[in-house]
Amino acid sequence: MKILIAEDETIIRLDLRALLEHAGFEVCAEAKDGEEAIDLARSEQPDLAVLDVKMPKLDGIEAARRILEERPIPIVMLTAYGHDELVSRAVEAGVFGYLVKPFREQDLLPAIAAARARHDELQEVRAEAESLSDALAARKVIERAKGLLMEKEQLSEQDAFARLRKASQASGRPLRVIAEAVVATLAADE
């Protein structure tokens, strides 16, 4: 797993790198500010990022938001401040973990594991929602095409569906594509 570290304090950044490498992770890039973190996330394509909240040029929460807009990865925030407002902003940005400094290896590694697990769960839910949305859209267009065939061709619902299925099989195209073509053709006549 490749990890991006963004921390403006050199000593903490070096400690982080040592902890992560000791745990078997590859630190693929180190940033000293939020803007550099965004650029490195883009060029190095890390699997996870550990970002400090308070950094020069751009804070870690805004950097996290911008990184996540381009490519969703798990992000763990580090901060010396445990304020509710900062935690809320981090959660709104899409951050999956939050650690208050000073931290130890036994704090950091579970935070990374939890962030990865929650990120993976969210990706699965998003994929499932997209699949369900696609299935619903396909079902709607197929129902519309059946209705048009029933009306225009005086077919039963079963016969209309059979005609769509047969056209799909004969052409080798998905049923949804056939239904869209039928709707485009027959709805234009209305």
SS3 121: helix
Report the distance separating Cα 104 and Cα 148, nearest Å. Answer: 66
SS3 81: coil
Beta 26-31 vs 2-6: how paired, if at all?
parallel
Identify the pLDDT of residue 189: 65
Identify the pLDDT of residue 7: 92
Q: Which domains does the chain have, with CATH numbers?
A: 2-103 (3.40.50.2300), 130-188 (1.10.10.10)
Q: Are 74 and 118 in contact (CB under 8 A)?
A: yes
Identify the pLDDT of residue 89: 73
Element (H, E) at 76: strand 75-79
Identify the pLDDT of residue 83: 67
The position carrying tokens 């909240």 is 53
pLDDT 10s digit of each residue in the chain, 190 long?
999 999 998 988 998 999 999 989 999 999 999 999 999 999 999 999 999 988 889 888 899 999 989 988 999 988 876 666 766 777 777 777 778 787 777 788 888 888 888 878 878 888 888 888 888 888 999 999 999 999 888 989 998 999 999 999 999 999 999 999 999 988 876 6
